Amino acid sequence: MEGKEAAVSYDRVSVIAEEDGTCRFVLTGELDHHSVKEMREVIDATLIDHRPMRVVLDLNEVSFTDSAGLGLILGRYTRISGYGGTMRLIGVSEEFMKILRLAGTDRFLTIERRNGTAKNHR
């Protein structure tokens, strides 16, 4: 995915291939059981086709997240780390940060809150 930056948009997710090889997924709206199916399909198809080594999930435009959103993130983390890639979250709301902490994901994911503060797992 190295080269010029390119973007493809779907209903609730945009895929941006950045010049440095990072693949950024910009998620919008609610992350609940109604919306995560399309997001999962788009993200997984990209991961299978391109196997990016650096993945960013941009949650700045996410208005609500529940356990389905947590499942989306954990499943993608498992897939990406399975082939040696890394994943980080940016734009995480305070409410979702509480869910991520309860699940223990802040111990192994790099997470940047909406206010710009980062929590590294290392």
pLDDT digits (tens, 9 = 90+) for 8-40: 888 899 999 998 999 999 999 999 999 999 999
Query: Any idea what DSSP says for residue 1?
Result: -
In this structure, how many other beta carbons lie within 10 angstroms of the beta carbon of residue 30? 17
pTM: 0.88
In the block, tokens 């993945």 appear at 55
Give me the pLDDT at residue 95, please. 93
Q: Is the separation of the CB atoms in 2 and 21 below 8 Å?
A: yes
d(CA 19, CA 4): 5
Give me the pLDDT at residue 49, please. 93
Q: Is the separation of the CB atoms in 21 and 53 below 8 Å?
A: yes
Q: What's the whole-number average pLDDT of the chain?
A: 91
Residue 7's pLDDT band (boundaries 50, 70, 90)? confident
d(CA 41, CA 114): 25
Give me the pLDDT at residue 122, please. 45
